Amino acid sequence: MTIDTARMVQMANAIRALSMDAVQAANSGHPGMPMGMADAATVLWSEYLRHDPAAPNWADRDRFVLSAGHGSMLIYALLHLSGYERPTIDDIRNFRQLGSPCAGHPENFLLDGVECTTGPLGQGLAMAVGMAIAERHLNAVFSDRLVDHRTWVIAGDGCLMEGINHEAIGLAGHLKLGRMNVLWDDNRITIDGDTDLSTSEDIKARYEATGWHVTSCDGHDFADIRRALDEALADERPSLIACRTVIGKGAPNKQGGHNVHGAPLGADEIAAAREYLGWDAEPFTVPDAILADWRSTAESGKVAHAEWRQRLEADSAARAAFEKHMAGVGNLASPALEGYIRDLAANPKTVATRKASEMALGPLTEKLPQLIGGSADLTGSNNTKTASTAPFSADDYSGRYLYYGIREFGMAAAMNGMALHGGVAPYGGTFLIFSDYCRNAIRLSALQQINVTYVLTHDSIGLGEDGPTHQPIEQVMSLRLIPNLNVYRPCDTIETAECWALALEAPTTPAVLALSRQNLPQLRGEGDADWSAARNRSAKGAYRLKAADADRKVVLVATGSEVEVAMACAAGLEEQGIGADVVSMPCMELFAQQDAAYRADVLPADALKVSIEAGVTQGWERFVGVDGLTIGIDRFGASAPAGDLYAKFGITAEAIVPQIINKLNG
Amino acid sequence: MTIDTARMVQMANAIRALSMDAVQAANSGHPGMPMGMADAATVLWSEYLRHDPAAPNWADRDRFVLSAGHGSMLIYALLHLSGYERPTIDDIRNFRQLGSPCAGHPENFLLDGVECTTGPLGQGLAMAVGMAIAERHLNAVFSDRLVDHRTWVIAGDGCLMEGINHEAIGLAGHLKLGRMNVLWDDNRITIDGDTDLSTSEDIKARYEATGWHVTSCDGHDFADIRRALDEALADERPSLIACRTVIGKGAPNKQGGHNVHGAPLGADEIAAAREYLGWDAEPFTVPDAILADWRSTAESGKVAHAEWRQRLEADSAARAAFEKHMAGVGNLASPALEGYIRDLAANPKTVATRKASEMALGPLTEKLPQLIGGSADLTGSNNTKTASTAPFSADDYSGRYLYYGIREFGMAAAMNGMALHGGVAPYGGTFLIFSDYCRNAIRLSALQQINVTYVLTHDSIGLGEDGPTHQPIEQVMSLRLIPNLNVYRPCDTIETAECWALALEAPTTPAVLALSRQNLPQLRGEGDADWSAARNRSAKGAYRLKAADADRKVVLVATGSEVEVAMACAAGLEEQGIGADVVSMPCMELFAQQDAAYRADVLPADALKVSIEAGVTQGWERFVGVDGLTIGIDRFGASAPAGDLYAKFGITAEAIVPQIINKLNG
């Protein structure tokens, strides 16, 4: 059903009016993009996007990503006009105010229909790549009958100029994600001025070079927009649709200039725009006829949803399989690991924790079909590939292993998109140092409250010869500072498996696993012969691995590869009659959440507390106090074999024990 | 002078032999790239690169960047063979061992001739863009007579696949940096396998789309390499030279495969390679004739250097100007600010610290011609442009302001390259939150011991409505964890100027200035009427801004916008008869470097210490102890006006004073 052009104009103007009025009321925000893209968005949402406002989480809906998240009023207007329960007109009236779901940038956790949090430029489009990957994978598993939808993106020049765009479109082009379509708001304006101030790129040629179909349209001509979208649908490649627009279209004196990008139009210009657009309605009022036209556009999606539900219900076995799969990992990671861990208890293994991670991933990937792994070109180093995970490629989307290429940020954002899509549980690897390259995507995993697991290996100077550019020093502690992110640094095979279980069983919290390059002895095993989720000692974040033999004077707290060092220190102390506990702290964040009694039991007030971690020390005072000792490395590393570096930086029992004794005597 | 082909083959094989032998001896490293690019590098270094091994820091030398830093043996071999004092053959023998300048990845601080530290992929090429910018700028200022050199890069597929490559080449193409030439080691291999495992991109087309000249050659055919390099020299655009190579060329059984990338060849394969290459010499031995050929190639650079020195010495006024400029900022920032700060003392200003930064940059950019500013498309928000800094553009390289575009990582790396080049002092702005996008380049500023100033505005929830994606929470503290980086968070106009002086006068330490979006009262002024460098109170990192009126019970320590809050808390406490100092701590790192007496005076043991900072609290225990109070925000922010957010998160005197009183009473 096509609505005639005059009415379409009014539908688009409803977006413009809501956007300019909401920004004005908030006295902050970005009217330029919603007004410029109102026409293209109206065509997309009313005629192409398959969605059901009454069922915003319908699994087979099209995904829509507003990558240019600063233009948030566009999606708020679209959701409201299309008939989503929220945002209400009052929500929009409270745009950017405390408590309104209409936040400055769209937040997935505030509104259904906002598929992902956007604003950090480039990441929306890159998350959309992940959504399109998830769609193709689930399609391969469950067929067109149950999974067959598109991923739509509106992106601006900023999204295209960011480095992550190169990574994202390279991946999408290579994987031939033809059901992904990007509408580029080609308004030739950035915050600083005209785009030609900072770029001369032929964007269309770049996309074509990366395996994309590219077309253009007049972003203010409904027929031309339809023509371009139809062309995109017909092409098997992912599509870039360059929508030539005038930023702030409708504000007669300001449109087309960079001042309309990120500031209210002002009362005078809004009055002028009302006249220019022929929009008589009061602020935050959409005339009934226009609202009715908008609401009518949801019909086709409602029908599609009903038909899909019929198909789902027609085959109860397929339905059960689908629903089980879409329900995610749940608490099934621990049972998947039980036998494996019990075996380890009986047969200890001295391996690097990156290898221990691979070993744990064996049963996990075998038993949990949602797990989709990958690495940013470090498969053999991150140990992320297992026998159960065949490559995911343009030739075979049923695979569960992604060769992401040398694209850390693109990988992380794609994983966010996969997790947001649902039905898949992504994990991916790179070196811990390169968390720096994808840090903001890790932050967005945490902010968006999704489960993504970062397998970050080579986690300290223990990687040795590659030197300071590759040796994490501040990374572990600085990742711990990201809210709602659990950073796990396990010390041996069993802890690694425990941390994997915890990481996967936290649906709203992402995880980092910081893993060693170098071999580590298995320190656990005793008491783990009947391991189960309830006996996951890492679950409290830290625990007493070894109790003092003699009267306890010292508590050594360590993580990862330094737990071995702490054990050696304890042995050295006890040789001298100084009782020392060793506490392994695989997850500082989980420990901090325990009650005071548990924390005081593990880290008692009456002992000298010593932290040992081959990284920066600041932050450890929280646990060992300013009267404790913080053993670590507060400078960059060096290039040498790992053992030499541990000696050089004093992370050895030989270097630490005398300091402890001095402290006790001081 | 051209050396005949048979001898050139031997020169290249010398690189191959040293590389495979050094990696073997170290039992780690990357032989594939040096062996594959040995032929192209031999042509480049012996016939094109203008350098003088006897004067490695000659200002007008060509710059050479091994962006594919893992192939570090290539540059070590080239430096040694060309006749640089270091590395010696013993240095190479100790490749990757503790204390050797031949580290796993090339480090600028270990060897002359290593222009920058590389290894983190993509950044070498992006730093080279900065070097090429610096060259063009200094050329515009000092003419061809004194500055007229090229920037050469060897990059691998990883460098080209990383997102930063898009940003870097976009900037270089837009700025028409025609004296930059990139030799791409087109070996079609990545760590995980063939490049077609993860990419289908037409790289040449992408570079062409970005304004680059592109040519190709057989990377093992000297004549063809020369032809391609000549073509690059003749073109006015930056050039990409695709050198089609066989990775590990010379290892007969392993060449061309991904296993030769990052592991020793093994004794058998090395023996086979010796036979295949006809290389009879013992490990770490280069036959005299081959070494003589190599050493002879430095002649033309020696002559060029001598001619340049003649030109320099021919005009003593020009020489003095040039040498003064190249000497850098030195200690001249403080004198440049004296009058400005003294004025502020008399005429206080309530402005945002981002505005205060702009005000300080006025006299700084006016008086220090080395300063080159810029912003990643947030000029009006970062307040980075001044009247003295005209745009740097392809039409006018004399300008001192760069519109970097929406390219944070590219900007940061370019600034590193500019600083490494010398003669310019770069500063650049973005939002503090987007330090996440360029974090590893900030780290490389610190690791490389160079002066770069990051102007990071909108530094807390105080930015208000843009919401959690834009509100730094963990950024300030996590940047503090980077070694050799000073993070400044000034509280008012005068501190902002003081921090600018400190930032610019630290030649081997980069700086972050974390600046507010919101207005802040001027708290300083008293005692600043005769301000000078010696009276820079920020220089000790923290100082008592206000002494307790009554008997001191509490010390409030705050940074940036929260110093105002601390002052309000102190007033509230003193109303109740509780004496409270207020300590402003604009730079935690500098304070930590002060002697114990000063630290104990500022943060005395006998007072309750309370930190107030609108960010994560972990890390503050170091200064306020576990018995102190850490007021901050340990969750993501929200979208609302700034005042509402400060109230919501309890960063107000009303919320804090009762907690302090409770603690005192507890």
In Å, how far is A336's CA from the nearest CA of chain B?
28
- Tell which residue, A24, A455, A57, has the closest CA to residue A267: A24
Chain A CB contacts of B517 under 8 Å are none
Residue B369 lies in a domain: yes
Separation between Cα atoms, residue A445 and residue B26, nearest integer Å: 39
The mean per-residue pLDDT over the stretch B160-170 comes to 98
Q: Which range marks the domain in which residue B609 is found?
A: 540-665
For residue A192, what are the CA distances in angstroms to A259, A261, B377, B624?
A: 9, 10, 5, 42
Domain count, chain B: 3
Q: Which of B405, B406, B440 sits opposite A436 (nearest CB)?
A: B440
Within this chain, do residues A339 and A292 fall inside the same structural domain, yes or no? Answer: no
Token digits of residue B360 = 């300080």
One-letter identity of residue B117: T
CA distance between the termini of chain B? 84
What CATH number does the domain containing A40 carry?
3.40.50.970
Provide the chain B residues 416-435 that lie in CB contact (below 8 A) with chain A: 433-434
pLDDT tens-digit series, residues B72-115:
999 999 999 999 999 999 999 999 999 999 999 999 999 999 99
CA B570 remoteness from chain centre: 40
Within this chain, do residues A285 and A350 fall inside the same structural domain, yes or no? Answer: no
pLDDT of B131 > 70? The answer is yes
State which residue of chain A sits closest to B259, comparing Cα positions. Answer: A380
Residue A630 lies in a domain: yes
**Which residues neighbour B98 within 8 Å (Cβ) at sequence distance 6 or greater?**
A638, A639, A640, A641, A644, A645, A648
Within this chain, do residues B557 and B465 fall inside the same structural domain, yes or no? Answer: no
Q: For the sheet with B425-431, list strands across it.
A: B401-403, B371-375, B425-431, B453-457, B511-515, B486-488
Q: Which of B481, B617, B622 should be substituted to probe chain A, the one whose Cβ sees the most A Cβ atoms within 10 Å?
A: B481
Separation between Cα atoms, residue A563 and residue A585, nearest integer Å: 9
Residue A303 lies in a domain: no
Spell A282-320 as b/e; 16+ CB within 10 A means b: eeeebeeebbebbeebbebbbebbeebeeebeeeeebee
Report pLDDT for A396. Answer: 98
For residue A263, what are the CA distances in angstroms to A70, A150, A282, A323?
A: 11, 33, 21, 45
Residue B520 lies in a domain: yes
pLDDT tens-digit series, residues B317-376:
999 999 999 999 999 999 999 999 999 999 999 999 999 999 999 999 999 999 999 999
The mean per-residue pLDDT over the stretch B596-622 comes to 98
pLDDT of B409 > 80? The answer is yes
Neighbour tally for B659: CB within 10 Å: 14
Q: Is A354 annotated as a binding residue?
A: yes
Within this chain, do residues B512 and B597 fall inside the same structural domain, yes or no? Answer: no
Separation between Cα atoms, residue A82 and residue A69, nearest integer Å: 19
What CATH number does the domain containing A625 carry?
3.40.50.920
CB atoms A403 and B193 under 8 Å: yes
- Tell which residue, A502, A647, A7, has the closest CA to residue A286: A7
CB atoms B436 and A443 under 8 Å: yes
Report pLDDT for B550. Answer: 86
Q: Which of B119, B170, B403 sits opposite A469 (nearest CB)?
A: B119
pTM for the whole thing?
Answer: 0.98
Q: Where are the strands (E) in A404-507, listed by range?
A: 425-431, 453-457, 486-488
Within this chain, do residues B553 and B522 fall inside the same structural domain, yes or no? Answer: no
Residue A541 DSSP one-character state? S
Separation between Cα atoms, residue B441 and residue B116, nearest integer Å: 12
Token digits of residue B330 = 């030195």
Residue A306 lies in a domain: no
Provide the Cα torsion A640, A645, A647, A651; round to 10°. Answer: -170
Q: Is B613 on the interface with A (CB under 8 A)?
A: no
Q: Is A211 on the interface with B (CB under 8 A)?
A: yes
Within this chain, do residues B135 and B198 fall inside the same structural domain, yes or no? Answer: yes
pLDDT of B188 > 70? The answer is yes
- Please, which pLDDT band fits residue A1 given cuts at 50, 70 and 90? low
Within this chain, do residues A531 and A604 fall inside the same structural domain, yes or no? Answer: no
Residue B391 DSSP one-character state? B
| H/E run at residue B600 | helix B596-602
Chain A CB contacts of B410 under 8 Å are 163
**Which residues neighbour B144 within 8 Å (Cβ) at sequence distance 6 or greater?**
none
Q: Which of A188, A466, A627 should be substituted to probe chain B, the one whose Cβ sees the most B Cβ atoms within 10 Å?
A: A466
Domain finish residue from B516, B535, B554: B535
Separation between Cα atoms, residue A297 and residue A300, nearest integer Å: 7
For residue A111, what are the CA distances in angstroms to A131, B447, B468?
A: 18, 43, 15
Q: Which of B97, B117, B467 sits opposite A105 (nearest CB)?
A: B467
Report pLDDT for A252. Answer: 97
State which residue of chain A sits closest to B635, comparing Cα positions. Answer: A483
Rg of chain B, C-alpha, whole Å: 28
CB atoms A481 and B483 under 8 Å: no
Token digits of residue B309 = 């020195």
Q: Which of B432, B437, B438 should be substituted to probe chain A, the one whose Cβ sees the most A Cβ atoms within 10 Å?
A: B437
pLDDT tens-digit series, residues B14-66:
999 999 999 999 999 999 999 999 999 999 999 999 999 999 999 999 999 99
Q: Phi then psi for A440, rounded to 5 degrees?
A: -70, -25
Chain B CB contacts of A200 under 8 Å are 173-174, 210-211
Within this chain, do residues A169 and A68 fall inside the same structural domain, yes or no? Answer: yes
3 state DSSP class of A452: coil
Token digits of residue A630 = 């913080």
Separation between Cα atoms, residue B114 and residue B78, nearest integer Å: 11
Please report, in range form, the residues annotated as the binding site of B.
30, 70, 119-121, 157-158, 187, 189, 261, 354, 381, 434, 458, 466, 470, 517
Q: Kindly report whether the peptide bond that precedes residue A87 is cis, defined as omega within 30 degrees of 0.
A: yes
pLDDT of B510 > 80? The answer is yes
Please report, in range form, the residues annotated as the binding site of B for substrate.
30, 261, 354, 381, 458, 466, 470, 517
Report pLDDT for B639. Answer: 98
Separation between Cα atoms, residue B472 and residue A333, nearest integer Å: 34
pLDDT tens-digit series, residues A594-627:
999 999 999 999 999 999 999 999 999 999 999 9
pLDDT of A2 > 80? The answer is no
Q: Kindly report whether the peptide bond that precedes residue B87 is cis, defined as omega within 30 degrees of 0.
A: yes
Residue A178 DSSP one-character state? T
Q: Is B589 on the interface with A (CB under 8 A)?
A: no
Separation between Cα atoms, residue A10 and residue A33, nearest integer Å: 18
- Please, which pLDDT band fits residue A550 given cuts at 50, 70 and 90? confident
CB atoms A638 and B162 under 8 Å: no
**Which residues neighbour B662 within 8 Å (Cβ) at sequence distance 6 or greater?**
none
Domain finish residue from B298, B323, B342: B298
Write the secondary structure of B74-110 as one string of H (helix), E (strand) and C (coil). Answer: HHHHHHHHHCCCCCCHHHHHCCCCCCCCCCCCCCCCC
Within this chain, do residues A428 and A502 fall inside the same structural domain, yes or no? Answer: yes
State which residue of chain A sits closest to B30, comparing Cα positions. Answer: A466
CA A610 remoteness from chain centre: 34
Domain finish residue from A535, A552, A578: A535
Q: Is A305 annotated as a binding residue?
A: no
Q: Which of B117, B157, B165 sits opposite A166 (nearest CB)?
A: B165
| H/E run at residue A412 | helix A408-421
Residue A627 lies in a domain: yes
What average pLDDT does chain A have? 97
Residue B309 lies in a domain: no
pLDDT tens-digit series, residues A466-501:
999 999 999 999 999 999 999 999 999 999 999 999
Neighbour tally for B332: CB within 10 Å: 18
Within this chain, do residues B502 and B467 fall inside the same structural domain, yes or no? Answer: yes
Within this chain, do residues A556 and A507 fall inside the same structural domain, yes or no? Answer: no
Q: Phi then psi for B538, rounded to 5 degrees?
A: -75, -15
Residues of B acting as catalytic residues: 408
Separation between Cα atoms, residue A533 and residue A649, nearest integer Å: 37
CA A660 remoteness from chain centre: 41
Q: Which of B114, B213, B393, B436 should be substituted to probe chain A, the one whose Cβ sees the most A Cβ atoms within 10 Å?
A: B436
The CA-based angle A598-A600-A602, given to 5 degrees, is 70
Q: What is the DSSP string of A271-324?
A: HHHHHHHT--SPTT---HHHHHHHHHTTHHHHHHHHHHHHHHHH-HHHHHHHHH
Residue A522 lies in a domain: yes
For residue A287, what are the CA distances in angstroms to A92, A250, A282, A519?
A: 16, 18, 9, 69
Token digits of residue B474 = 């963990």
The mean per-residue pLDDT over the stretch A61-78 comes to 98
Q: Is B71 on the interface with A (CB under 8 A)?
A: no
Token digits of residue A67 = 């990558």
- DSSP H helices, A555-652, are 562-575, 588-592, 596-602, 621-624, 642-648
Neighbour tally for B399: CB within 10 Å: 16
For residue A233, what are the CA distances in angstroms to A2, A130, A179, A244, B312?
A: 18, 19, 8, 19, 64
pLDDT tens-digit series, residues B529-585:
999 999 999 999 999 999 999 899 999 999 999 999 999 999 999 999 999 999 999
Report pLDDT for A554. Answer: 98
Strands B608-612 and B629-631: parallel
The count of C-alpha atoms lying within 13 angstroms of the C-alpha of B20, restricted to the half-sphere facing its C-beta, is 33
pLDDT of B2 > 90? The answer is no
Separation between Cα atoms, residue B135 and residue B573, nearest integer Å: 57
Asked whether the beta carbons of A277 and A17 are under 8 A apart, the reply is yes
- Please, which pLDDT band fits residue B1 given cuts at 50, 70 and 90? low
3 state DSSP class of B206: helix
> What is the residue whose two structure tokens read 């047969």?
A347
Provide the chain B residues 154-193 that lie in CB contact (below 8 A) with chain A: 157-158, 161-167, 170-171, 173-174, 190-193
pLDDT tens-digit series, residues A105-116:
999 999 999 999
Separation between Cα atoms, residue B220 and residue A145, nearest integer Å: 54
Asked whether the beta carbons of B590 and B511 are under 8 A apart, the reply is no
Within this chain, do residues B160 and B281 fall inside the same structural domain, yes or no? Answer: yes
